[in-house]
Amino acid sequence: MKKLTPIVYVLLLFILIGGSGSSCKKEVPREQVTFDFLVPITVTPLKDTISVGEELTFSTLFSDSVYDMKSAKRYYLPDFNWRPMIFIKKLVAPEKYLSGQLYAGSKFEYINEVGGFTRANDIAANMNYVYENNQYKLTVKIKAKEKGVFSIDFANDFYPNSVKLPQEFAPSLPSVTKEPAIGDMRNQINNGQTNYHILKQNCLVETPGMASIDIWLNKNSMYTFVVK
């Protein structure tokens, strides 16, 4: 068997060092950075009680430089698919959580004016904003078809932390890879005037240890009213 020459030993040494270095290379940690965008919603008329056959109007108008509640800064999101939607529940059991109340989307008629409803069933109604002149717009109406106590939850058709945002919203560093994403959408109705007292009277919404984001959403993103 032939002996290895010195040059072969040197080559083997370089191969071993290179392999060892690559196997010990550390992966850069990832960090998700979330943004809670505020969308103003107006519901009119603003009152506790409406009649069967009466309409409620939902509208919004906001800039494509959208306000983030976490950083108190605005971020440019042109022609973004916000996938807005509403859930309508009929409150029939004050001792039960909202999940135990009845879906009631079929108890209303849906009317489009600017943008509008794209799909509606008993569980939910999806909507589209109109995007023009650097603004998002929506004006729609619902018309009550029967009596009862109802609550409308304004939401978006995606889960928190699931929608990625442009990398420039949170630039990465050599030591960490930043992953910007939408956290919790903050759809705020009438600056917080949502008839929350009616929701509390007809549904179990306040429990010990409830997360602050859930409290905020119950008070700001849900509109409750009586149909007589």
pLDDT single digits (tens) 2-61: 555 555 454 555 555 455 444 455 788 999 999 999 999 999 999 999 999 999 999 999
CA atoms within 13 A on the CB side of 129: 24
Does the structure show a pLDDT above 90 at 105? yes
Reported pTM: 0.86
Name, in order, each residue with C-beta under 8 angstroms of 33's C-beta and a sequence gap of 6 or more: 169, 170, 178, 179, 180, 181
Classify strands 55-63 and 38-44 as parallel, antiparallel or unpaired: antiparallel
Q: Is 126 helix (H, G, I), strand (E, B) or coil?
A: strand
Strands 116-120 and 148-156: unpaired
| Interatomic CA distance for residues 41 and 83, integer angstroms | 14
